A and B are shown apart, each in its own frame.
Chain A
Amino acid sequence: DIVMTQSPDSLAVSLGERATINCKSSQSIFSRSNSKNYLAWYQQKPGHPPKVLIYWALTRESGVPDRFSGSGSGTDFTLTISSLQAEDVAVYYCQQYYTSPTFGQGTKVEIK
């Protein structure tokens, strides 16, 4: 299985400031056949199921605010929240789907 490792495990950011979450895969999840990285990002709020934010590493899901962006390729990826809002407090997960799906351990984002 491909192991996904997120960093940090938690972070506290002031309202309006940038939040950056990293995700590293144990092997490349880039496909040369379609030039895509097989990575998604999810947001999970307490008591709710996860919600997809980003897929193909950088494609924002419809309806997701543009302050959320994904970047990276190969084995190293980043989710950036450009200006943290109160409603962004949640746990964020990365997930690879290059092979049988696996998730990172999650990153808890709080307000400083």
Chain B
Amino acid sequence: QLVQSGAEVKRPGASVKVSCKASGYSFTSYGISWVRQAPGQGLQWMGWISVYNGETKYAQNLQGRVTMTTNTSTSTAYMELRSLRFDDTAVYYCARTFDILTGSDWFDPWGQGTLVTVST
């Protein structure tokens, strides 16, 4: 399973770092993708990291603002989003991917989600 960190409230321009702790499987044999969902909206893929070799792929609209990392000693993945804007308010999900080379895969399982609110 994947267990994420708690809700965050941030000011515009700040950064947020969400964690995703994995258990019950071999962490380094898979990848982790991050998907976000704005309130009442659909799902948007943000990017992927191969825990196997550290390769990353990011959605074009987030390039330069997002960084995904992992700590294999604690089986934890991280997503940091910088220069937060009001429209970054969303629930952020981590999800496991089976593909460790391309990042193009379906997602199973998902974390419970972390609400990030950007507000003054």
Contact = CB atoms under 8 A, between A and B. Distances in A.
A1 B44 CA distance: 12
Contacts of B111: 49
A97 B104 contact: yes
Q: For chain B, what secondary structure do more than half of its interface residues adopt (helix, strand, loop), or is it mixed?
A: loop
Interface residues of B, number: 21
Contacts of B106: 40, 52, 55, 95, 97
A17 interface: no
Contacts of A52: 106-108
B108 A100 contact: no
B108 to A, nearest CB: 4
Contact of A97 (B43, B44, B105): B105
Contact of A49 (B57, B60, B103, B110): B110
Contacts of B7: none
B22 to A, nearest CB: 15
B45 interface: yes
The residue in B44, B57, B107 that gathers the most chain A C-beta atoms within 10 A of its C-beta is B107
A51 B110 contact: yes
Interface in B63-78: none
A49 B45 contact: no
Contacts of B112: 49
A93 B104 contact: no
B80 to A, nearest CB: 20
22 contacts: A1-B60, A40-B107, A42-B43, A42-B107, A49-B95, A49-B110, A49-B113, A51-B110, A52-B107, A55-B106, A55-B108, A93-B42, A97-B99, A97-B104, A97-B105, A99-B104, A100-B104, A102-B45, A104-B42, A105-B42, A106-B42, A106-B43
Interface of B: 33, 42-45, 57, 59-60, 93, 95, 99, 103-108, 110-113
